[in-house]
Amino acid sequence: MKSFVESANSADTDFPLANLPFGVFRRGEADAPRVGVAIGDRVLDLEACREAGQLAALDEQTEAACGAPDLNELMEVGDMPALRRVLQDLLGEHSTSKPELHEMRNVELLLPARIGDYTDFYASIHHATNVGSMFRPDNPLLPNYKWMPIGYHGRASSIVVSGTPVKRPSGQTRDDANQRPVFGPTTRLDYELELGVFIGRGNRLGEPIPVGKALEHAFGFCLVNDWSARDIQTWEYQPLGPFLAKSFATSVSPWVVTREALEPFRTKSVERDPAELPHLQDDVAYDITVEVWLQSAAMNEPIRVSRGNFRDMYWTVAQLIAHHASNGCNLRPGDLLASGTISGPGKDARGCLLELTWRGTEPLELPGGETRKFLEDGDEVILRAYCEREGLRVGFGECRGRVAG
Amino acid sequence: MKSFVESANSADTDFPLANLPFGVFRRGEADAPRVGVAIGDRVLDLEACREAGQLAALDEQTEAACGAPDLNELMEVGDMPALRRVLQDLLGEHSTSKPELHEMRNVELLLPARIGDYTDFYASIHHATNVGSMFRPDNPLLPNYKWMPIGYHGRASSIVVSGTPVKRPSGQTRDDANQRPVFGPTTRLDYELELGVFIGRGNRLGEPIPVGKALEHAFGFCLVNDWSARDIQTWEYQPLGPFLAKSFATSVSPWVVTREALEPFRTKSVERDPAELPHLQDDVAYDITVEVWLQSAAMNEPIRVSRGNFRDMYWTVAQLIAHHASNGCNLRPGDLLASGTISGPGKDARGCLLELTWRGTEPLELPGGETRKFLEDGDEVILRAYCEREGLRVGFGECRGRVAG
């Protein structure tokens, strides 16, 4: 399946014709945001397609949603299989249309959706065990962990798109229990490598989503960097959970990879032991390689500091959604559910510096002799993810953020 | 200061000419939402006032915001002192205009704002100590409590307006550590009496709000019932805080009492001991009586089950706002910050059943011989609040919710 867009046929592109992730872009500051689709190094302009009548084969709602200023409408009502077929024809090597494309480097990529609520889970048992053993050595994995996906509400207002600089936050910390706490810039700034799920169709308040139908509510996936200030977190998090340690910024990648594009990469999840309760029973995981790359101000190019896989998560995407709605909580189109840090069993698969440097006791060595316990000003963190199977590659692009002092 | 609206001059009305709380209403299901102001038992129709030119003395932004379908625009740009002066003239006993009024019982009151993010604090030291002593007998008040306002992100999607029935949620619970957890309807459903602050003008991401300027960002106040499923909460809340135990519903009163209307009721806050850090230094409290009333299906009228005062909170409103933004987190117009359960030093001032019945060990006796450890289906909880001083009364109206099975 080839595209007339040359760059989409290269073996290492994240955005071949089989992917077609959705995003929102503008051509300049004065331009209104519009929906786009990534293809190779280009962006297909869906508003222009609509105006040219190239989406006329779609139902009216889906066609109208392609002209919206964000993805929320498409998430709610879009017939995505049909839209994907139309776009694959439009962008295929035998396409007779001339759809409007922009060079991706020439457009500004924006937040893909208005995110009403943002929820962050804790679905990697490797991450939970590692972090738990640092914060509660005698009690690393709490008794509830294996019975339900633990999660908490995050801050929606401070979610920013990849490329937005992240200002080092100030906060209250206390290193010594015999001293007064102090207020000042965090000295333990960390990233967290996560994947996020954008909710498509929502549920009504009071009406849970059965786990067997839960994936139907997942519109698509993006990369999430849940920036964390570990010193602030340690001091504030009891008893109500993380708050200001996280709410200063959360970065997301601009391209939302649809559930349909990930179908070829479904695999069997790890088994819960003990088995999950019936209302959470599911075994669908996705085989997605996830990586963290880091570049300090002194370095010429980033190096990879970890690589894991999303299929190692203890709780599946369907379980996160079904659990979230199990009390009747309404999920709305555009809501974001993040997975929590994706860590694997191996040391090279630890998805945050807290784990990778074991709370700073095993500093990371960078080329040129620098070391890192936590992030320094000028450091850029780059998250990447991709699926690969039998010559087919579906990628997520990047989620970047540079630490500003 | 009298109004030509007779009911606004009665000594016991919550909505005299001195109050003028803002809300959103519609006259029927087919009607578009519009901004209104409560006056006695009537609602002033601001869209109609605008059309009749009765708001022409205001600046353009404020006048336009009065025609919006919710309060967000007014919260962001409204010149509230000027608007209040215009409305007091319009509704005063010497008014020569005939502004359009609706009977309050004939209109449907809606959520006053699009709430982007909802944050719930834990600002009553009496509540924190009581609850802490049940959940952690050896460690009731954690070491961070007296150094900063503890809070967490709540769920915005499930905030409903007063009068919306609240469905008893299901969830996972475990009473016996030797047994598997079970999934089913909560048996420990509770209310929490809180006040909420709607943010007016916001701050930009990365730019904290100094505590001395924090109150300027408070548009106004409402009643909040933070419904809580205590059995779900006990099992889920560690280590990331309350999640599904709260996210099934949060009720708010429809009328937002402006900061300006509360000016006469400012008072000195309790003193923090030890003294708060400089970036949180403040001493402005509000003298607001808060009450919980309860009516079971078998009762003919509600009885009051507790009465406290908002001035007893350990942390002030300015401290909640300044702390929230101290890491650079951006607050947006329409964001809701709730105080946490308002409990006082006395037993009759405990703002939730968990405290009032001491985890069910001291059941509440109702007229007719019924008792309550937690809420039963058909119970209606009514929150009320008001300020009174030298013949001036400024009230909040009610926040009601009936438990549906």
pLDDT confidence of residue B43: 98
pLDDT confidence of residue B139: 85
Chain B residues lying within 8 Å of A324, measured CB to CB = 244
CB B248 to CB A328 under 8 A? yes
CA distance A204 to chain B (A): 10
The Cα A71–Cα A77 span in angstroms is 10
Percentage of chain A beyond pLDDT 90 is 97
pLDDT confidence of residue A200: 98
> What six digits make up the tokens of A403?
């630490």
With a cut of 90, say whether residue A22 has pLDDT above it: yes
Nearest to B131 by CA among B140, B123, B139, B122: B140
Nearest to B277 by CA among A183, A74, A18, A85: A183
Percentage of chain B beyond pLDDT 70 is 100
Q: Which residues of B are catalytic?
A: 127
Chain B residues lying within 8 Å of A236, measured CB to CB = 144, 148, 150
Q: What is the mean pLDDT of residues A234-244?
A: 95
SS3 of B337, please? Answer: strand
CB A249 to CB B170 under 8 A? no
Q: What is the mean pLDDT of residues A225-242?
A: 96
Distances (CA, A) of B202 to A382, B32, B205, B216, B263: 30, 27, 9, 10, 21
pTM of the model: 0.98
Chain B residues lying within 8 Å of A327, measured CB to CB = 169-171, 229, 232, 244-245, 247-248
Nearest CA in chain B to A139: B239
Q: Where are the alpha helices (DSSP H) in B5-69?
A: 46-51, 60-65
Per-residue pLDDT of chain B (405 residues; tens, 9 = 90+): 899 999 999 999 999 999 999 999 999 999 999 999 999 999 999 999 999 999 999 999 999 999 999 999 999 999 999 999 999 999 999 999 989 999 999 999 999 999 999 999 999 999 999 999 987 888 899 999 999 999 999 999 999 999 999 999 999 999 999 999 999 999 999 999 999 999 999 999 999 999 999 999 999 999 999 999 999 999 999 999 999 999 999 999 999 999 999 999 999 999 999 999 999 999 999 999 999 999 999 999 999 999 999 999 999 999 999 999 999 999 999 999 999 999 999 999 999 999 999 999 999 999 999 999 999 999 999 999 999 999 999 999 999 999 998
| A313, A150 contact by CB (below 8 A) | no
Work out the mean pLDDT of chain A and round it to a whole number: 97
Nearest CA in chain B to A243: B152
pLDDT band at A138 (very low <50, low <70, confident <90, very high): confident
Nearest CA in chain A to B204: A158
- The DSSP code for A157 is T
**B contact test, residue of A240, A246, A277 with most B CBs within 10 A:** A240
pLDDT digits (tens, 9 = 90+) for B158-177: 999 999 999 999 999 999 99
pLDDT digits (tens, 9 = 90+) for B74-114: 999 999 999 999 999 999 999 999 899 999 999 999 999 99
DSSP assignment of A346-361, as one string?
Answer: SGGG--SHHHHTTTTT
pLDDT digits (tens, 9 = 90+) for A25-35: 999 999 999 99
Q: Of A94, A102, A126, A127, which is the active-site residue?
A: A127
With a cut of 90, say whether residue A405 has pLDDT above it: no
pLDDT digits (tens, 9 = 90+) for A338-353: 999 999 999 999 999 9
Q: Which positions ≥6 away from B41 have C-beta within 8 Å?
A: B7, B13, B103, B104, B105
The Cα A245–Cα A123 span in angstroms is 19
CA distance B141 to chain A (A): 10
pLDDT confidence of residue B138: 87
- The yes/no answer to whether this complex scores an ipTM above 0.95 is yes
The Cα B221–Cα B17 span in angstroms is 17
- The DSSP code for A81 is H
| 3-state per-residue secondary structure call for A116-145 | CCEEEECCCHHHHHHHHHHHCCCCCCCCCC
pLDDT confidence of residue A5: 98
Nearest CA in chain B to A160: B205
The Cα B319–Cα B212 span in angstroms is 9
Of B183, B235, B330, the CB nearest to A157: B330
The Cα B62–Cα B83 span in angstroms is 8
pLDDT digits (tens, 9 = 90+) for B120-133: 999 999 999 999 99
| A54, A25 contact by CB (below 8 A) | no
pLDDT confidence of residue A218: 98
Q: Across the strands, what pairs with B120? A: B152, B338
Q: Which positions ≥6 away from A190 have C-beta within 8 Å?
A: A227, A228, A229, A230, A352, A353, A354, A374, A375
With a cut of 90, say whether residue A232 has pLDDT above it: yes
pLDDT band at A199 (very low <50, low <70, confident <90, very high): very high
With a cut of 90, say whether residue A139 has pLDDT above it: no
pLDDT confidence of residue B382: 98
| A382, A400 contact by CB (below 8 A) | yes
